[in-house]
Homo-oligomer: A and B are copies of this chain.
Amino acid sequence: MNSPVTNLQPTFTPRPVPVALLEALKTRFGVQFSSAQAVREQHGRDESAFTVPPPQAVVFAQSTQDVSDVVKLAAQYQVPVIAFGVGSSLEGHLLAVQGGISLDVSRMNQVLAIDADDLTVTVQPGVTRTALNVAVKSTGLFFPIDPGADASLGGMAATRASGTNAVRYGTMRENVLALEVVTASGEVIRTGTRAKKSSAGYDLTRLLVGSEGTLGIITAVTVKLYPLPEAVMAATVSFDNLSDAVQTTMTIIQLGVPIARCELLDATTVRLVNVHSKLTLPEAALLLMEFHGSPAGVQEQVATVQTIAADNHGHAFAWASTPEQRTRLWTARHNAYFAGLQSRPGCKAITTDACVPISSLADAVLASVDEARMSGIPYFMVGHVGDGNFHMGYLIDPDQPEERERAEALNQKLVRRALELGGTCTGEHGVGLHKMGFLLEETGAGGVAMMRAIKHALDPHNILNPGKIFAID
């Protein structure tokens, strides 16, 4: 299985978009409809390094009815519809590889119901994670899932996103309770309830979470909230050897320490982050951790982790217990991607994301970082290592096709190694265009055939974000 499994340039196979459809959308949506070049281009790209021509038109939905009406018209003409939130996906999810209509739901940004006594909240899909936390602030509750970007809840559900808090609070898989979805025929259905658990039939909620807009368009999301922890402490600890930092992580998880965040940056990435965020972290491998709980519980966790880190030659322990100190550290961590981009002006980042069983974390991370170093391609490496999940970004000159090929070769080695170690080709970014070949390697033809059968059953004319996750033919 050494054939290339990522396309350096996706195939563009546009389907006809009849003028009658564009006219019908324009009539129905007025100023919510746009075919202006700039608007189309903004909706025709994401944070991936792929480029294809933009969608033919954009509709800005303001209600579930709007979404339903767009899909019904698109279904009538068998034209693709691609849901768009904030455009922060990383693997080409939003690209109009078969042409069609971009359905922008960012104006559907209302918080529909805060049920604080049930620890749940229901939002429209365009609400971002930051806006959600502002909206629930007065309840003493919070929503923990935090991908690097200030992504929309609809997009986060569609890609099964997670972030730095997943090691304790889970991903969108564990935190979405219910959805409202427009199906490929334009029908509005509801999946799940606000009950914490259920055995009522097929788990449509979790089938739709992570389906990348290919099985339905999410128009409302109900997620869990959590009480703000009584005590929070963040800590950094440095290691001269990357392997010691990884070993520390593995031991923390295997001992069952209920750590809330456990992030790894290698020395190279710490240097980029220091420059971008004006910090003075020691330029060595860094674990950036956070502990949530009661005051005594946090102290216990910290003591345990400090012992484990010291056993593994950790040094330069530093504590951040004020909200301001913590925010500064975590903002710097969330901006690692931008720190990477800034470090090489004009570059593009080819990002990748894999997740392995925790005992294989050292094998996966150390070899991948070594290969990146040896390649001479600038890179950054950050990891939600408490989950066995890590990312690399290869910072290429887009005008040098040879750099791109080398970066993709590094990506292939990294992902194939993760699969060999019993892991997955993507922990949280999704498949999009970039990981389609790897999904086939990971799941096998039988699993992908099952996905394809489900897709065909629920979207027989293949109008919902076609050309993503797996090939239809």
Please list the residues of chain A having a beta carbon within 8 angstroms of any beta carbon in chain B.
115, 117-120, 159-162, 166, 170-171, 173-174, 183, 187-191, 193-204, 206-207, 209-211, 215, 226-227, 229, 250, 253-256, 293-294, 296-297, 300, 353, 355-360, 387-389, 418, 422-431, 435, 438-439, 442-444, 446-448, 450-451, 453-454, 456-458, 469-470
Residue contacts A-B, CB under 8 angstroms, 28 given:
A119-B358, A159-B199, A173-B206, A189-B446, A189-B447, A193-B357, A193-B424, A195-B422, A196-B355, A199-B424, A199-B428, A199-B430, A200-B426, A200-B431, A200-B439, A201-B469, A201-B470, A203-B206, A203-B207, A203-B209, A206-B206, A207-B207, A227-B255, A227-B256, A293-B297, A454-B454, A454-B458, A457-B457
Task: Please determine whether A359 and B117 come into contact, CB atoms closer than 8 angstroms.
Answer: yes
In the assembly, how many copies of this chain are there? 2
**Separation in Å of the A114 CB from the closest CB of chain B?**
12
Q: A214's closest neighbor in chain B, by CB?
A: B202
Q: How far is the CA of A193 from the CA of B418 in the complex (A)?
A: 11
Task: Please determine whether A198 and B447 come into contact, CB atoms closer than 8 angstroms.
Answer: no
**Separation in Å of the A306 CB from the closest CB of chain B?**
15
Q: How far is the CA of A297 from the CA of B204 in the complex (A)?
A: 37
- Picked from B193, B359, B431, the residue with its CB within 8 Å of the CB of A442 is B193
- Picked from B173, B254, B450, B456, the residue with its CB within 8 Å of the CB of A204 is B450
Which chain B residues lie closer than 8 Å to A358 at the CB level?
A: 117-119, 196
Which chain B residues lie closer than 8 Å to A187 at the CB level?
A: 446
Q: A418's closest neighbor in chain B, by CB?
A: B195
8 more CB-based (< 8 A) A-B contacts, given A115-B359, A197-B387, A296-B297: A117-B250, A173-B206, A190-B444, A193-B423, A195-B427, A196-B355, A196-B358, A457-B457
Which chain B residues lie closer than 8 Å to A442 at the CB level?
A: 193, 200
Task: Please determine whether B446 and A188 come into contact, CB atoms closer than 8 angstroms.
Answer: yes
**Separation in Å of the A209 CB from the closest CB of chain B?**
7
Task: Please determine whether A450 and B189 come into contact, CB atoms closer than 8 angstroms.
Answer: yes
- Picked from B173, B355, B439, the residue with its CB within 8 Å of the CB of A201 is B439
Which chain B residues lie closer than 8 Å to A161 at the CB level?
A: 199
Q: How far is the CA of A97 from the CA of B355 in the complex (A)?
A: 43
Known: A201-B443, A423-B193. A119 touches B254 (CB 8 A): yes
Q: How far is the CA of A187 from the CA of B449 in the complex (A)?
A: 11
Task: Please determine whether A197 and B166 come into contact, CB atoms closer than 8 angstroms.
Answer: yes
Q: How far is the CA of A200 from the CA of B209 in the complex (A)?
A: 11
Task: Please determine whether B256 and A198 come into contact, CB atoms closer than 8 angstroms.
Answer: no
Which chain B residues lie closer than 8 Å to A356 at the CB level?
A: 195
- Picked from B296, B422, B448, the residue with its CB within 8 Å of the CB of A300 is B296
**Separation in Å of the A302 CB from the closest CB of chain B?**
12
Q: How far is the CA of A424 from the CA of B196 in the complex (A)?
A: 9
Q: A359's closest neighbor in chain B, by CB?
A: B117
Among A187, A197, A226, A448: residue with most chain B CB under 10 A = A197
Q: How far is the CA of A171 from the CA of B199 in the complex (A)?
A: 10
Q: How far is the CA of A423 from the CA of B253 in the complex (A)?
A: 34
Task: Please determine whether B203 and A199 come into contact, CB atoms closer than 8 angstroms.
Answer: no
Q: How far is the CA of A297 from the CA of B431 in the complex (A)?
A: 40
